Structure 1
Amino acid sequence: MHERNAELLYFADVPALHELCLVVVSVPTDCKLGSGKQPHIIRCRELIFTEQDILATPSLGHGHSVQIVMPQSLYKTGRLQSRFQKMGLQAEKPRRVTPAIFQSCYRYTLLAKLAPGWNKVGDYLVQGRDFVTTNEKMNAICLDVTVTEKEVCLAVQAHIIRSSPIQLADLGVCRPVWDAFTRDVHGKIAEYSICNTWCHILPSMKKGKIVNLVRQIPEDSPFKTYKDMKRYWKNTYGYRLPDTDEGMIYYQVYFKPIGNTLFTYPLSVVFIS
C-alpha cells in the first residue's frame, strides 16, 4: 500500500560546464575485488566519498568503467591521475561535459550520499537505515533530476509505503518441508517445493526466479561469509543489512536475461512478486 502527495520542484544553478571535464576510468577485469562484486561500482563510491570536488557514476553498457566529472583546474593538478594509477584504474583523456553527463553523475552522487538515510528501492527512496527489516509504514520519495545548460531541477514527491518481510505463506512451501528446513543448519528447499517462485531483488526491483532456499552461503558464491556479504551491500548500495546472520535464509535466484548463473541473496533484499 502507499499514499502520495503533490510534487514539489526545486531549482539550482549549474556550474559553468565549460569549466568542467569528464574523465572515464576503467577498472580492470582482474581487479582484486572480483568481477562478481561489481568492482566499478565499489570504486566509484569510494571516489565519491573521498573526493569532495567530483561527481561520478558507474558507466552502463561500457564494461567496468566509471564516469567522473571534475573541475578542469583539479584535473590540471594531476593529483587525481596519480590516485587513479595507485588504485589500478586506467584513465582516458578528458572530454567535454554535456548536461546529460552532468545529470547522470549528479544524480548517482546525490543518491549515494543520501544513503543510508534514504535508500533506493525501485523508483523510490525509502527513509531509514533499517528499512529492510521493518514492516511498518515508511516515508519515501520519488526523485527526478533534470539538468540543462543553466539549471538543475529536482522534482520531489512524498509517499507513504509499506513493505513486509517474506512470510511462509508468500512462498507456498508446505509446513513439514519448512519445519525440516529450519531445523537443519545445512537445509535446502528446491524449486519444486516452492509454489510462488517469482521475486524482485533490491535495489532495482529486477524480477528473478527463486531456484533454491538455503541456510548457508553456497560454496560457489563470491561471498564466503555473511560479514563479506554485509560489507558488499554497504559498499555497493549503502544498505545496512541485519547485524547478525542468526536465522538467516539465502535465496538462489535465476535471471533469464543473464543465463544459467545463480545469484545468492539474503532474505532481507528479496520481495515476492
Structure 2
Amino acid sequence: MRINVVNPDFNKLGYIMAVANINDKHDRSTPSDFHWKILKCRMIIFSNSSILACPDKRDVKQVHIIFNKTGDDYDKLISLFLKFSLMQDGGIREVTLEVYQKCFHYTMTARIAPVWNTMEENYLINNRDFLTTKGPQEGVKYSISVDQHFTILEINAVKINLMISEEEFSPGEWIRVLPSLNKAMVEDSYKDFSQVSASKFKSYKDIRRHWKNIHGYRLPDAETSYYSIQFWRGEPLLYPKLCVIRNFPIVTPTPKTLERVIISKFLKCLISKMSFILGTPITIQMQEMQHDNNSMVPNDSLTETQAVSLCTPTQSSRMCK
C-alpha cells in the first residue's frame, strides 16, 4: 500500500539546528551525552505538536527541527530551548527534502510508540507488550521518501517473530540488540541489578525510563536479567535480556485480507498521533500496490485515491474526505 501524506508549503517552513548543553545535569535515564541529546529532541517533539524534529546521528549534541514560519512556532521553540537547555546553532535555513524526510520519520516513530514499536530502520511492531510476547506479531515493513508535494510511505503488512528464547546468553556469544538489530558480543551476564558491578544506571527504574525515553519501548514491571554488551567500539553497554536476541527476527508476509486490517490500524494510529503536521491538518491519499517481479508498483486499476483530511483535533479518530 502506498500512503501519500500531503506536504505543507515548503516556502512557509523554516529549519534550524539546535545543540544540547551536554554539561547540564543529566537525567539518570540518559547514561551518555548522545542519549541526553535524544531525550532533549523527544521533549521538544512532545512539547509542540506543530514541529518535526530528529537527533543528528553523528553529532553528539545536534538536533534538527522544522517549524512553520507563519505562526508563533518559532517563539515557542525559543521558549522551549530555554526550558530544556538547548541553543540555536546558526540562522533559519531552507528545508531540504532530505532533512524533511529524516524529521518526519523520527517524529512519526516517536509519536506512534508504544502502540507501534520501531525495529531496525524500516519495521514497526503493533504491540505495546511485544518484548514479552512469543510467536508471530503483527507489524509493517515500510519506507519513506519525500518529494515537493508528498511524503510517501510504502507499507507492507508482515508478521514478525522475535524468536524469544528462555535460554540465557553466554559471555563471548554473538547476539543482536533491539531496536537496531546491530550485532554485538556478550561480555558478562547478571541475574539481577544487584549483581551489576558498574553502570551509570542506579536501578531497574532508571533502565525502564531509559527505554521509554530513548526508544519508546515499555519494559514490564518485573525485572529480568541483564547483559553487558560490547560493540565494535566504545565501552560495554548494559542491556536487559528482553532487548537481546540471538538472530534476526523471522519476518513473513500476511494474507491480503489481514494486510488491509493491519495497514488500517497503522493509518488510524498515524492520524490520531499526527493529526496536524507543522500546523496543517493531515491530508492523506491512499493507493494500493501490486506485486510485479518482486517489486511494488502502483495498481493502475485504481482510478481514484482516497483522500483523508482531519479538520479538527477531535476528528483524529476518523477519516473524512
How would you bin the TM-score normalised by the shorter chain? 0.7 to 0.9
Structure 1 residue 265 corresponds to structure 2 residue 262 = no
Mapped to 2, the partners of 1:24 and 1:214 lie a distance apart of 40
Contact 2:67–2:74 (8 Å) recurs in 1: no
1:163 equivalent in alignment to 2:156:
no
- 1:125 maps to a residue whose letter is L
Shift of 1:199: 0.7
State the Cα distance separating 1:13 from its structure 2 match.
1.8
From the superposition, tell whether residues 137 and 77 of structure 1 become closer, same or farther in structure 2 (CA, over 3 Å): closer
Alpha-carbon deviation of 1:164? Answer: 2.9
Letter in 1 for 2:178: L
User: What secondary structure does 1:203 align onto?
Assistant: coil
Paired residue for 1:4? none
TM-score scaled by structure 1?
Answer: 0.82
Q: Cα gap change, 1:130/1:96 in structure 2, threshold over 3 Å: closer, same or farther?
A: same
- Contact 1:134–1:164 (CA<8 Å) still a contact in 2? no
Q: Call closer, same or farther: CA 1:74–1:215 in 2, change over 3 Å.
A: farther
Q: Work out whether 1:203 is the aligned partner of 2:202.
A: no
* Cα pair 1:44 1:58 within 8 Å, conserved: yes
Q: CA deviation at 1:76?
A: 7.2
Kindly provide the CA deviation profile for residues 133-154 of structure 1, in whole angstroms up to 9, marking residues without a partner as x: 0112200101211111121111
Number of aligned residue pairs: give it: 239
Range with bigger deviation, 127-136 or 35-44: 35-44
For residues 185 and 63 of structure 2, the distance between their equivalents in structure 1, rounded to whole angstroms, comes to 30
Q: Which residue of 2 aligns with 1:143?
A: 142
Offset of residue 56 of structure 1:
0.5
Q: Find the aligned partners of 2:109 and 2:76 in 1 and give their Cα distance.
A: 26
The CA deviation string for residues 234-256 of structure 1, in whole angstroms up to 9 with x for no partner, is: 111110101121xx210101011
Is it true that 1:214 corresponds to 2:190 in the alignment?
Answer: yes
Instruction: Provide TM-score, normalisation by structure 2.
Output: 0.71
| Aligned counterpart in structure 2 of residue 52 of structure 1, from 26, 33, 49 | 49
Separation of aligned partners in 2, 1:233 and 1:96: 33
The structural deviation recorded for 1:77 is 5.4
Q: Within the alignment, does 1:84 sit opposite 2:81 as a pair?
A: yes
Q: Match for 1:19 among 12, 15, 25?
A: 12
Check 1:77–1:89 CA distance in 2 against 1; reply closer, same or farther (3 A cut). Answer: closer
Equivalent residue for 1:223? 201
Q: Which residue of 2 aligns with 1:182?
A: none
Residue identity in the other structure for 1:131: F
For residues 106-163 of structure 1, the C-alpha deviation after alignment (integer angstroms, 9 at most, x for no partner) is 1111111111111111231011010000112200101211111121111001101212
Structure 2 regions of 5+ residues with no counterpart?
248-321
Aligned to 1:63: 60
Question: What per-residue deviation string (whole Å, max 9, x for no partner) do you get for residues 10-67 of structure 1?
Answer: 1132111111011111112223225526011111111111201100001121222110
Query: Counterpart of 2:70 in 1: which secondary structure?
Result: helix
CA–CA separation in structure 2 for the residues paired with 1:75 and 1:27:
22
Which position in structure 1 is the counterpart of 2:70?
73
Q: Secondary structure at the match of 1:239?
A: coil
1:36 is matched with which residue? 32
What is the one-letter code of the residue matched to 2:125?
Answer: V
The answer for unaligned runs of 5 or more in structure 1 is 1-7, 174-190
CA distance in structure 1 between the partners assigned to 2:133 and 2:31 by the alignment: 32
Partner deviation per Cα, 1:154-204 (whole Å, 9 max, x = no partner): 100110121232332x74x6xxxxxxxxxxxxxxxxx2xx6xx00111111
Relative to structure 1, the CA distance from residue 76 to residue 105 in structure 2 (aligned partners, 3 Å threshold; closer, same or farther) is: closer
Structure 1 pair 135/76, CA: closer, same or farther in 2 (3 Å)? closer
- SS in structure 2 at match of 1:244: coil
2:286 match: none
Segment of structure 1 superposing worse, 36-45 or 15-24:
36-45
Q: Letter of the 2:166 partner, please give it.
A: Q
Letter in 2 for 1:269: C
Poorly superposed stretches of 4+, deviation over 3 Å: 74-77
Mean Cα displacement is larger for which, 121-130 or 28-37?
A: 28-37
Q: Name the CA distance, whole Å, in 2 between partners of 1:240 and 1:86.
A: 26
